[in-house]
Structure 1
Amino acid sequence: MTARSFRTLDGIRGVAAICIVAHHMPQCFGSWLLSAQMAVDMFFVLSGFVLAHVYEPRFRAGMTPLHFLRLRIVRLYPLYLLGTTLGILQAVLMALYYQGPDIWNWPRILPSLPFAAVMLPAPFDKYLFPFNAVMWSIFFELAANLIWVVFWRRLERTGFLVAVVIGSGALLVVDTFLFKTTAVGMGWNTFLPGFPRVLYSFTLGILLHRFHRAVTLRRVPPGLLLVAMPVLALLPLGAYGQLFCALVVLPLIVLLGAKTETSGMTRLFCERTGVASYAVYALHLPALAFFSGLLLIFGLQIEDSPLLGPIFIVLVVLGCVLLADKIETPMRRWLSRLVPGPAPGAVAVGRKES
């Protein structure tokens, strides 16, 4: 199945990104999306599954860790840089013209700039990535990528991979009991628990890919899988319900999605939202700040109408589809030329990397 595209997984990732956007708009959606932060755990499982599909054959053919990491930076850095630059611009404008809660000022901005430029957490701020807070998960994903590629020979042994999944899952359970939430990793106060969170989901995604062909499951309509994440996000699950979803439910959705084909408009939706998902995730916070500022010019606030929130989500998704097609993908292809080619004999597979 190396040529398979997993379009349903693309759609699940796109819907998860939309859930995160809505989660960061409490002024529009209130406390409806009580469990939407689980979408990040879904991203980690999907990433492990898709990257295993794309790169394990290449590793076996001789791709080096350095080449893999360069490709990951080429994939992630352009939109990271765009989102961070917009966040820096917002911070500067607030430092110059706004005095209020959560103040931006030069002593807060300047020390964080060099770390932001190289995708590292800011050691002097309570947020790991103060200019674009959601980038904490990209940092942890890159950390998981690094661990995977460095220890790939050992992780290729199924027993060792299962041990990592079980060990990191056990630590995730402990962390949830200690912190009374699964939403860890965003700030320095929960920095260390962020590693078990990403490692469990990412390595389980790798394990699911390794055995998904051998698992026989009844086919589930792709539409049901696409709405699964929003439905879970609406449920008042609490910390332990969210933990159960992270440990069991979300991986099951990914496994079912991997065994489900799409067609027609559903396939088109999955393709387009999947392509745009990273842009939606990386850019929605600065885009929301811009949208809110634009409304203020007309004397409006985003919470003034129940339609403004959904309108923003539609606009940001459509804008990111165009951005991904017209700018991000061509730029990534151009940047890929700067990366030394894979080792002789390395194979490509028919799925774009996550």
Structure 2
Amino acid sequence: MARGAEIKALTGVRIVAAVWVVLFHFRPLLYQVAPDITKALAPILNCGAQGVDLFFILSGFVLTWNYFERMGPSWSTRATLHFLWLRLSRVWPVYLVTLHLAALWVIFTLNVGHIPPEDVSPFNAVSYFRQLFLVQLWFQPYFDGSSWDGPAWSISAEWLAYLLFGALILVVFRVARATRARSLVLLAIAASTPPVVLMLVSGHIYTPWSWLPRIVMQFTAGALACAAVRKLDLSDTACRRAGYLSIPLVALVIGGLYFFDAHPLNTVGDAGGIVDLLFVPLMVLLAVGTGSLPAFLSTRLLVYGGQISFGLYMVHELVHTAWIWTVKQFEITLTPTLSGKATVFGLVALSVLGGVLLYHVVEEPARRWMRRMVDIKPADPPNRLHRIDGEQQARPTGVSARAG
């Protein structure tokens, strides 16, 4: 695989992680319309927040894959600023749209119906500017309530990782030069361990400032895992074996969730978070593997799903919030009937449609527009020869190019 080329299997993983988070937030509705199926899937659905951990590791991996050679050998302020602008062009447009949609929804509920929003105190000028510049999470120990659009907390966390990336890639580049691929994988797994250790010590994955080691260490783990993959030179047979090995590893993740749900640890309420340690080796296997699961994740449908996953992730909680208000406003009760199932399916479909629209109408056009701002070609020198009517003529000295 060419260095810097898209690893399609990892793009496909993005939609898996996004859907996991969406179903996590929608699970109360799923319980109402399909209680038996939802109970059977409860160990997976209840741990859907770990889809964000998967996103953090993926982000560190993919950015390192793309910028290892460009930013790793030596520090460049220009290259770092260019990187930050390109990252901003990727996340900021959709982020801004959903931020203001959340504000418009609050304004709507303040003026329509008899069900006001629960708390409008976070919607103030200071909070707005923190939201605008992606730093709202940095001032709060808990991510709940930090962002006007709920999932945006993770984008604030990612922005911190982006700001640290210029220094991180220098370290990872040098560690990679002195370390074998197998040891780099072990280092990556070790880097993903601190959030799990803190969870085991505290008993919960959601504790004050727990978001900070999650983003910093998991992002770093992804970067180290990528450095390991870049050093590997596997035969076709080894790549196929890696692809097949990813299947039992996924089964182990799912089996672990069910095991810890049935056999919870005495002092840990979120023991399913232990399976986060399997995400790094899974990313490595999917990145180098061929056939089987990597091939499935590389299909056109799942790759497209990965492309729209950011929009889906950012908009789904707005759909969920609007539905909760509608239920209270009109006293709607979901039942396990065909109409109830159709309603929940429609809400999920509406979220997916929102993700599609955000990708095609906002994300991609705005990204290309912002990229053009920093990809400007230098202007022609003042005395450059220009071909006019088949002849070459020099621009007269002292005459403005705008004269006449």
Same fold (TM over 0.5): yes
Task: Quote the RMSD (CA, aligned, Å).
Answer: 3.7
1:85 and 2:109 correspond: no
- Cα contact 2:110–2:116 (8 A) shared by 1: no
Higher relative contact order (CA 8 A, sep 6+): 1
Sequence identity (%): 23
Q: Which residue pairs with 1:49 in the alignment?
A: 61
Q: Which residue pairs with 1:314 in the alignment?
A: 349
**Bigger shift: residues 213-222 or 134-143:** 213-222
Distance of 2:245 and 2:366 partners within structure 1: 31
Amino acid paired to 2:288: K
Q: 1:5 to 1:301 in 2, by over 3 A?
A: farther
1:117 CA drift (Å) = 1.8
Q: Which residue pairs with 1:205 in the alignment?
A: 222
Unpaired segments ≥5 residues, structure 1: 343-354
TM-score (norm 1): 0.79
State which of 316, 320, 333 in structure 2 corresponds to 1:284. 316
Q: Which residue pairs with 1:9 in the alignment?
A: 10
Q: Which residue pairs with 1:335 in the alignment?
A: 370
Q: Which residue pairs with 1:220 in the alignment?
A: 243
1:267 and 2:296 correspond: no
Q: 1:172 to 1:24 in 2, by over 3 A?
A: same
Q: 1:258 to 1:264 in 2, by over 3 A?
A: closer
- Cα contact 1:45–1:205 (8 A) shared by 2: yes
Q: 1:113 to 1:303 in 2, by over 3 A?
A: farther
**Bigger shift: residues 57-66 or 75-84:** 57-66
Q: Which residue pairs with 1:349 in the alignment?
A: none
Amino acid paired to 1:288: H
Amino acid paired to 1:190: P
Secondary structure at 2:374's aligned position in 1? coil
Distance of 1:225 and 1:326 partners within structure 2: 39
- Cα contact 1:65–1:150 (8 A) shared by 2: no
Task: Describe the superposition over 1:57-112 as per-residue Cα deviations: whole angstroms up to 9, x where unpaired.
Answer: 2214856222211111111111111111111122233344577797223x432242
Distance of 1:234 and 1:302 partners within structure 2: 28
Q: Which residue pairs with 2:273 in the alignment?
A: 243
1:296 CA drift (Å) = 7.7
Distance of 1:264 and 1:179 partners within structure 2: 38
**Bigger shift: residues 256-265 or 71-80:** 256-265
Unpaired segments ≥5 residues, structure 2: 32-38, 378-404
State which of 204, 208, 211 in structure 2 corresponds to 1:190. 208
The aligned length equals 334
Amino acid paired to 1:313: V
- Cα contact 2:249–2:282 (8 A) shared by 1: no
1:109 and 2:123 correspond: yes
Task: Describe the superposition over 1:199-243 as per-residue Cα deviations: whole angstroms up to 9, x where unpaired.
Answer: 222111111111223575624369959976994796363556433
1:322 CA drift (Å) = 4.0
Q: Which residue pairs with 1:152 in the alignment?
A: 169
Q: 1:229 to 1:146 in 2, by over 3 A?
A: farther
1:66 and 2:81 correspond: yes
Secondary structure at 1:307's aligned position in 2? helix
Q: 1:121 to 1:223 in 2, by over 3 A?
A: same
Amino acid paired to 1:273: G
Q: Which residue pairs with 1:348 in the alignment?
A: none
Distance of 1:4 and 1:340 partners within structure 2: 20
